[in-house]
Amino acid sequence: MTAILTIDNVSHRFGSLWAVRDVSFSVERGELLGLIGPNGAGKSTLYNLIAGVLIPTKGEIFFDGLKVSHWKSHRVARVGIARTFQIPKPYRQLSVVENVMLTAFQHERSVSRARDLAIETLADVGLRDYVDVPVTTLTVGLLKRLEVARALAMRPKLVLFDEIMAGLTPTEVSTMTKFVGGLPARGITVIWVEHVLYAIMKTASRIMVLNRGELIANGEPAAVARDPAVVKAYLGEEMSLA
Amino acid sequence: MSLDVTQQSTGRLALPFLPRRGARVSVLEIFIFIVCLALAIIGLPQTLQDVAVLTFLWAGLALAWNIAGGYAGLISFGHAAFFGIGAYTSTILFVHLGLTPWIGIWCGGALAALFGALLALICARLRGPFFILSTLAAAEVVRIGALNWASLTGGPEGLSIPPVAGMTSMVFASKAAYVAMMLLFLLVVYAITKLLEGSRYGYYLFSVRDDSDAASAAGVNPLTVRTAAMALSAGLTGIGGSLFAQYFLYLDPTFVISPELSFQFGLLAAVGGLGTAIGPVLGSFLITPMSELLRSYLGNQAAGLHLVIYSALLIVVMLYFPGGIAGALTRIVSRKGKL
């Protein structure tokens, strides 16, 4: 049992609202963990806590043997946690490859080698043809892939994906699902927030469900899909995984 | 047209995408500098030498401003404070302590850089208009300080450098020497800008300008980057201020630390093209001679008319060429390339 990330009794409060309340879980090295829940359940808040954008009101976060609860986001990124943004945040005046180079700099200090790494990563997510294109000309689907490329060019130990399927066509969803499913084999631990349930249920080895800031289920996809509390809070009807 | 889901409303300038060439130098750039060098060496007629001095100096200062305003997205209307700190430091060291300006200009630059870093550390967490206002206010504090600390700065009466030409005093009898000095300053700031543009640090500036949340998720510390950019920009502006003092030989807070001067740095950069190396140079080369010539031809008959023409031109450029002259040129060149 080697947990890469441990969330220990973490809570976060916005004013009088507990966005995340007494959440505890850990993620094993090489795991692909799915995180689902209705809108406003606290998924994004939890991500922001892990990534150092927010500081927990209570509780601690440990990553790879380090206590990172009070670290700022750039410091968290430097020890190997990458993330995507639910609403893509590209550098608007840069080209596609330059957008990826900025995360590649974590690994390659030289501009030309960072460019090579960025191009390699872009090819990985199917953006090989868009290398020198202005980022503002990309469609939503391509921007989502760019977010993924930016996160992976950091060569992270842990990556937090936030709804990378939203706005994708069915073909794009199936390509992306396969791609994400292959990441643990490359030594990258994945936490994945997604509303496209069939994609995540098929790919993740474990699913956690957040509702109103609290963890209401945590287990194998099939078991979680049958859990009455999850059905009531989120799924609406029992889901068949046939 | 693609659906743009990244539209932001944070008050930052939305500039068009410009392809960069990194540290490579284009034919246009080489051409412009050869012309400048030739003019500086052959020697201009007396009246045009003054224009050349100011054109080169303002180009260098617009470039320095552009490092913060164009590359790091720190639109500052307080750069006159750095200019003034540089000018006063070298002059005070020379007039009061007899230290040669050859050393004094570096002290001026260092002090201005320190002040710039301090300003960024305190104010760079403010966004958009609030940052701009804080820089404007900081410069006013420096101006009022300089006006009231008369024992050091001479207060409202100003401070003069004895107009005695000499190597230690860094005062030259020939205007051509000043033309060469300002051209050298311009070339140095230009070289620094080009190096920055092609380097990792340059990309850090762009990332912080375009989206600081994404930058910190990429491991870039926005505060460090902004502070460094401001310090570099302020330091170069301070050196420019010292050089101005050596040329003008008289300093007075109401001009040297005026908001108008801060606006001028920013406007020259914006007209030429923010976030490009050639932009501020083109801006100054177009506007400084025009404004100087308009001033001398129209100054007597229609006082102030040159300012009207100057301002009208700025509005036209801002409206129709949002990427500045450099942006317009790039578009023309890339269109020709396709034909």
Q: Are B72 and B231 in contact (CB under 8 A)?
A: no
A114 contacts on B by Cβ (under 8 Å) = 200
pLDDT above 80 for B142: yes
Q: Does B6 have pLDDT greater than 50?
A: no
CB-defined contacts A:B, below 8 A:
112
Of B3, B209, B214, the CB nearest to A89: B214
Q: Is B157 in CB contact (< 8 Å) with chain A?
A: no
The answer to whether the CB atoms of A77 and B219 lie below 8 A apart is: yes
Q: Best mutation site among A73, A96, A162 for testing chain B: the one with the most B CBs within 10 Å?
A: A73
pLDDT at B237 over 70: yes
Q: Look at B27 and A240; give whichever has higher pLDDT.
A: B27
pLDDT of amino acid A228: 86
A88 contact residues in B (CB cutoff 8 A): 5-6
Chain B: nearest CA to A211, how far in angstroms? 26
A234 pLDDT more than 60 = yes
> The tokens of A136 are what?
């503002």
**A163 contacts in chain B (CB < 8 Å):** none
Q: Compute, in degrees rounded to 10, the torsion defined by CA atoms B322, B325, B331, B336.
A: 160
- Please check the confidence at residue A169 and state whether its pLDDT lies above 90: no
Q: Do A137 and B2 touch (CB under 8 A)?
A: yes
Looking at A39-186, which runs of residues are DSSP E strands? 58-63, 66-67, 81-83, 158-162
Mean pLDDT of B251-278: 90
* Number of domain units in chain A: 1
Tens-digit pLDDT profile for residues A74-84: 999 999 999 99
pLDDT of amino acid A158: 97
* B258/B262 Cα distance (integer angstroms): 7
Which pair of structure tokens corresponds to residue B69?
């305003």
Which one of B18, B204, B220 would you mutate to disrupt binding with A, by most A Cβ within 10 Å of its Cβ? B220
**Which residue does chain A place closest to B214, by CA atoms?**
A89
Given a cut of 70, is residue B41 above it in pLDDT? Answer: no
Q: Which of A46-50, A98-102, B152-156 is predicted with the least confidence, judged by mean pLDDT?
A: B152-156
B314 pLDDT higher than 80 = no
Chain mean pLDDT for chain A = 91
B217 vs A: CB within 8 A: yes
**Residue A192 CB partners (closer than 8 Å, separation 6+):** A32, A33, A34, A35, A161, A164, A180, A200, A203, A204
- Position B325 scores a pLDDT of 84
Cβ contact B203–A105 (<8 Å): yes
pLDDT at B165: 85
Mean pLDDT, residues B139-147: 94
* Average of per-residue pLDDT across A135-146: 91
Model pTM?
0.88
Q: Which residues contact B264 (CB under 8 A, 6 or more apart)?
A: B58
B3 — pLDDT class (breaks 50, 70, 90): very low
Domain-by-domain residue ranges, chain B?
A: 27-37+50-338
Q: Nearest by CB to B6, from A51, A72, A88: name it.
A: A88
> Would you say residue B299 has pLDDT above 80?
no
Residue B17's pLDDT band, with cuts at 50, 70 and 90, is low
Compute the nearest-CA separation of B201 from chain A (Å): 10
Name the minimum distance, in Å, from the CA of A68 to any CA of chain B: 14
CA atoms within 13 A on the CB side of B153: 24
Average pLDDT over residues B233-253: 96
In CATH, what number does B27-37+50-338 get?
A: 1.10.3470
**Is the pLDDT reported for residue A210 higher than 50?**
yes
Contact with chain A for residue B175, Cβ under 8 A: no
Model confidence at B2, pLDDT cuts 50, 70, 90, reads very low
Quote the DSSP letter at residue B13: -
Instruction: Please give the average per-residue pLDDT across A162-179, as a whole number.
Output: 89
What count of other Cβ atoms lies within 10 Å of the Cβ of residue B304? Answer: 9
Would you call A102 and B216 a contact, using CB atoms and an 8 Å cutoff?
Answer: no
DSSP secondary structure string for all residues of A160-173: EEESTTTT--HHHH
Picking from A51, A89, A94, the nearest residue to B6 by CB comes out as: A89
Report pLDDT for B176.
85
In a domain, A10, yes or no: no
Indicate the residue of B17, B203, B213 with minimum beta-carbon distance to A101. B203
Interface mutation target, options B3, B17, B196, B330, chain A, most CBs of A under 10 Å? B17
What is the three-class DSSP state of A54?
coil
Question: What average pLDDT does this structure show over A55-62?
Answer: 95
Asked whether the predicted pLDDT for residue B10 surpasses 50, the reply is: no
β-strands A214-219, A58-63 pairing: unpaired
Is pLDDT above 80 for B7?
no
Can you tell me the mean pLDDT for B103-128? 94
Exposed / middle / buried, residue B80 (Cβ in 10 Å: 0-12, 13-18, 19+): buried
Which residues constitute the domain of residue A141?
93-153
Work out the average pLDDT over B68-72: 94
Pick B124 or B246 by higher pLDDT: B246
B17 chain-A contacts, CB cut-off 8 A: 92-95, 134-136
Q: Which pLDDT score, from 0 to 100, does residue B169 have?
A: 87
B218 and A136 in contact by Cβ < 8 A?
no
Residue A190's pLDDT is what?
97
Beta partners for A34?
A192, A207
The residue type at A231: V
What does pLDDT average to over chain B?
A: 85
Minimum distance, in Å, between the CA of residue A103 and any CA atom of chain B: 5
With respect to residue A136, please indicate whether it lies within any of the assigned structural domains.
yes
* β-bridge mates for residue A206, sequence order: A33
Q: Residue A140 and residue B217: Cβ atoms within 8 Å? A: no
Nearest-by-CA chain A residue for B8: A89
Beta bridge partners of A135: none
Residue A6 domain flag: no
Specify the range with the lowest mean pLDDT, choosing from B11-20, B33-42, B81-90, B92-101. Answer: B11-20
Position B4 scores a pLDDT of 36
Name the closest residue on chain A to residue B71, using Cα atoms.
A93
How many helices and strands in chain A, by DSSP H and E?
A: 9, 10
Q: Which of A145-154, B122-131, B197-206, B301-310 has the lowest mean pLDDT?
A: B301-310
Residue A68 lies in a domain: no
pLDDT of residue B27: 66
SS3 of A175-229: the string is HHHHHHHCCHHHCCEEEEECCCHHHHHHHCCEEEEEECCEEEEEECHHHHHHCHH
The string of pLDDT tens digits covering residues A26-55 is 999 999 999 999 888 999 999 999 999 999
- Residue B13 scores a pLDDT above 50: no
Residue B24 predicted with pLDDT over 60:
no
B window 185-204, beta carbon within 8 A of A? 198-200, 203-204
